[in-house]
């Protein structure tokens, strides 16, 4: 660790420190070194240094840190996380009906030596051929090793004997989804964390990385800020800036769910990594493809799988069942019930699944000013279990954990849910929704996963030397759709690969320190952030109102329904809101930084969505907001991904052909 002179804001030289320092004590908050030098006490800003800096604390970050340390034990690895490890980010907190981890294991069908190829083809084909084939190949080939590692750490995957149980997700050709239950991700985080702690890797919690620092085209570290420092206390407490010199940096900052008003992400997921990379000069890709699906607003639980296969009623706040009004007149009720049932297995909205009609009906009902609920207390109008298609009934039978008989099965959605997934009834009760007492589940189409991100190559490297990205922060490995289970997989596969590659790369680099003037200019920027450069001081919004305004714009323009006019209007409104400026009024600086980042991510998503004038995956483009039929998918013209980067201060969106070599498919 090197140190800065707190008053002069310049580094102490190593000689100075060795000769004069009698004692020093590190204060974790604010980040000071209290040094006794020649009988005097000095407060110094600590400058951390490391070989590999890992930004984030989820599954991708932990796997990268562990791999760097296991591969190069001499490597000095520092992990910096905005929240507390094991309690923040998606991996540590997300739950759904049955959370999936995709892997092609030796026994996975079709069971041939090259069965990884079927997995890679699913990622690429279901993804709409707008991802890189070489990355899909790596994901599929390395999936068994990723599974084995977690299994050895003790992640309690459900097994039959020694063989993990696997099920098929989102159109995958073969069943590959391993699971522990609703908390697969939480279990992965918990077990990785144990290993991480056992390796004694250094960590800073409550610290948000705010800026990457470059020397020429090479990353040399980052500036971070303590999330506990509030705007009104920073004047006295200078230790809120944390400079970190690093030879290589891995971004594992997750997605940007907070740009949506309706989302299932935990707090703090503001897409910081996308903005850090973009501002440093790296490329991003596929930002218009975001998984959106029906989820509970109160509990953030995805209403997928058995929760829909129980065929609940879709009602508004008046109790009116509305689904039929958004289907062609005269649609047979049994057809509607089949759609609800099948939605369970094709949860995120997708152009390629006709069940998108359910998401469209919900979002249209909401746009008309209604609230929407799933009601498990009564059957949908004219429901008859026996009228469900044979394949639905067979799927239901496979899922049954109890047999209450045909009469009970016909009685209500709740009775069916008790038969196929009683745990979800208890889970909802624990989280304040008592289906047994007739509570309804309020739902909306919610943002769940960013398929795109910082454009990576086979080693998880970005287009900027020294910078890597993994997990949801990374892009190019997934296309428009992502078969469920491949996000947790990619955080493990590319986490390991990038961790090892960054540690190896660091060996040949001489560490630079963060120049003092960079810290000074960052300090001034923070001061400006708190009394932001709005057009007129009286027009400034509180940071919370700015966030709310942004989320409304994002939901309206890049939610389920996307139109050219809506996107242009959204971009104009976003710009207007940004120009109003915002005030922190005593709130933490990190809230302001996150909100600033959310503006940039929202703009990226909207610009990419505007450029793609076709439908593909979750990107449903309509000619106008009242149109029922999405614009077609344009193959092969639009088998291109959109790359975003900054050039002379402007956001550039550029279509490029993905890497296809090695793929047999046209
Ligand atoms: C409800 C839900 C269900 C899901 N179900 C599945 C599923 O069944 N299968 C599947 O494969 N995927 C699923 N996903 C997606 C998957 O869980 C995530 O994509 C994955 O966990 C992301 O891991 P990560 O390590 O990239 O990011 P995260 O786990 O989100 O971690 C990001 C970390 O970065 C930190 N951070 C962010 N910004 C900064 C900063 N500036 N400075 C320092 N730290 C920062 C955060 O605090 C956090 O610790 C689901 C997601 C949700 C929300």
Distance between CA atoms of 133 and 576, rounded to whole angstroms? 40
The backbone torsions φ and ψ at residue 227, rounded to the nearest 5 degrees and listed phi first, read: -75, -10
The range of the structural domain enclosing residue 310 comes to 306-443
Domain count, the chain: 1
Distance between CA atoms of 314 and 364, rounded to whole angstroms? 13
- The reply to whether 351 falls in a domain is yes
Question: Which residue has the least CA distance to atom 5 on ligand 1?
Answer: 99
Query: Beta-carbon neighbour count of residue 457 at 10 Å?
Result: 15
- The reply to whether 555 falls in a domain is no
Mean predicted confidence (pLDDT) in 397-416: 94
Cα(91) to centroid(ligand 1), Å: 5
- The reply to whether 185 falls in a domain is no
Q: Residues enclosing ligand 1, CB less than 6 A?
A: 55-61, 80-83, 88-91, 94, 96, 99-100, 185, 208-209, 252-254, 264-265, 268, 272, 302, 448-449, 471-473, 484-488, 491
Which candidate, 543, 551, 655, 544, places its Cα nearest to that of 607?
Answer: 655
Question: Which residue has the least CA distance to atom 33 on ligand 1?
Answer: 56
DSSP reduced 3-state for 129: coil
Mean predicted confidence (pLDDT) in 132-143: 97
Taking the model in full, what pTM does it have?
Answer: 0.93
Q: What would the pLDDT profile of 292-351 be if each residue is shown by its tens digit?
A: 999 999 999 988 889 999 999 999 999 999 999 999 999 999 999 999 999 988 889 999
Q: What would the pLDDT profile of 45-76 be if each residue is shown by its tens digit?
A: 667 889 999 999 999 999 999 999 999 999 99
Which candidate, 51, 47, 50, 53, places its Cα nearest to that of 10?
Answer: 47
Percent of the chain with pLDDT over 70: 90
- The reply to whether 367 falls in a domain is yes
Q: What would the pLDDT profile of 204-243 be if each residue is shown by its tens digit?
A: 999 999 999 999 999 999 999 888 777 666 444 455 788 8
Q: Residues of 336-346 as b/e, b for ≥16 C-beta within 10 angstroms?
A: bbbbbbbbbbb
Secondary structure (DSSP) of 340-381: HHHHTTS-S--TT-TTHHHHHHHHHHHHTT--EEEE-SSPPT
- The reply to whether 288 falls in a domain is no
Q: Which of 56, 299, 305 to mutate to test the pocket of ligand 1 (most atoms within 8 A of CB)?
A: 56
Q: What would the pLDDT profile of 158-194 be if each residue is shown by its tens digit?
A: 999 989 999 887 777 788 999 998 889 999 999 999 9
- The reply to whether 337 falls in a domain is yes
Cα(122) to centroid(ligand 1), Å: 22
Cα(63) to centroid(ligand 1), Å: 13
- The reply to whether 640 falls in a domain is no
Whole-number pLDDT of residue 318: 97
- The reply to whether 407 falls in a domain is yes
């Amino acid at each position: 660790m090197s140190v800065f002179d707190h008053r002069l804001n310049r580094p102490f030289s190593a000689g100075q420190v060795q000769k004069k320092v009698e004692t020093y004590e590190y204060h974790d908050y604010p980040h000071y070194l209290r040094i006794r030098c020649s009988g005097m006490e000095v407060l110094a800003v600590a400058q951390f240094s490391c070989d590999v800096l890992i930004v984030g604390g989820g599954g991708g970050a932990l796997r990268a840190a562990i791999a760097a340390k296991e591969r190069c034990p001499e490597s000095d690895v520092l992990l910096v996380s905005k929240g507390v490890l094991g309690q923040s980010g998606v991996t540590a907190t997300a739950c759904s009906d049955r959370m999936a981890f995709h892997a092609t294991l030796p026994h996975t069908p079709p069971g041939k030596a090259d069965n990884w190829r079927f997995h890679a083809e699913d990622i690429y084909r279901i993804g709409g051929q707008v991802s890189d084939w070489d990355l899909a190949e790596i994901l599929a080939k390395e999936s068994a090793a990723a599974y084995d590692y977690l299994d050895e750490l003790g992640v309690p995957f459900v097994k039959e004997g020694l063989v993990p149980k696997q099920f098929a997700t989102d159109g995958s050709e073969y069943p590959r989804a391993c699971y522990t239950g609703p908390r697969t991700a939480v279990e992965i985080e918990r077990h990785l964390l144990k290993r991480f702690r056992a390796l004694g890797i250094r960590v800073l919690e409550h610290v948000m990385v705010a800026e990457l620092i470059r020397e020429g085209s090479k990353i040399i570290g980052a500036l971070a800020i303590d999330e506990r420092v509030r705007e009104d206390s920073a004047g006295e407490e200078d230790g809120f800036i944390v400079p970190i010199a690093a030879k290589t940096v891995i971004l594992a900052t997750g997605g940007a769910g907070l740009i949506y008003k309706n989302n299932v992400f935990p707090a703090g997921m503001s897409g910081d990594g996308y903005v850090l990379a973009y501002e440093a000069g790296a490329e991003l890709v596929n930002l218009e493809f975001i998984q959106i699906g029906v989820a509970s607003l109160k509990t953030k639980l995805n209403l997928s799988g058995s929760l829909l296969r129980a065929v609940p009623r879709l009602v508004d706040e008046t109790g009116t069942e509305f689904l039929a009004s958004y289907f062609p007149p005269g649609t047979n009720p049994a057809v509607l019930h089949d759609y609800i049932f099948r939605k369970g297995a094709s949860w995120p909205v997708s152009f390629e699944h006709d069940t998108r009609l359910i998401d469209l009906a919900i979002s249209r009902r909401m746009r008309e000013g209604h609230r929407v609920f799933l009601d498990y207390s009564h059957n949908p109008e004219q429901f008859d279990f026996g009228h469900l298609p044979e394949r639905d009934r067979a799927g239901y039978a496979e899922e049954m954990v109890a047999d209450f008989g045909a009469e009970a099965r016909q009685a209500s959605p709740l009775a069916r849910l008790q038969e196929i997934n009683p745990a979800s009834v208890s889970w909802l009760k624990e989280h304040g929704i008592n289906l047994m007492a007739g509570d309804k589940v309020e739902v909306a189409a919610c943002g769940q996963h960013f398929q795109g991100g910082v454009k990576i190559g086979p080693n998880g490297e970005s287009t900027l030397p020294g910078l890597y990205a993994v997990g949801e922060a990374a892009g190019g490995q997934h296309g428009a759709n992502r078969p469920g289970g491949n996000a947790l997989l990619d955080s493990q596969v590319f986490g390991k690969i990038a961790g090892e590659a960054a540690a190896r790369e660091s060996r040949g680099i001489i560490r630079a320190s963060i120049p003092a003037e960079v810290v000074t200019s960052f300090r001034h920027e923070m001061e400006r952030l708190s009394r932001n450069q709005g057009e007129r001081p009286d027009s400034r919004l509180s940071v919370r109102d700015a966030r709310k305004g942004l989320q409304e714009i994002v939901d309206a323009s890049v939610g389920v329904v996307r139109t050219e006019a809506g996107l242009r209007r959204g971009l104009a409104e976003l710009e207007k809101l940004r120009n109003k400026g915002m005030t922190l009024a005593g709130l933490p600086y990190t809230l302001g930084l996150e909100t600033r980042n959310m503006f940039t991510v929202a703009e990226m998503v909207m610009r990419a969505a505007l450029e793609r004038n076709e439908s593909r995956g979750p990107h449903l483009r309509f000619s106008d907001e009242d149109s029922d039929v999405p614009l077609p998918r344009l193959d092969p013209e639009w088998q291109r991904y959109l790359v975003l980067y900054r050039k002379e201060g402007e956001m550039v969106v550029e279509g490029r052909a993905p890497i296809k070599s090695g793929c047999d498919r046209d």
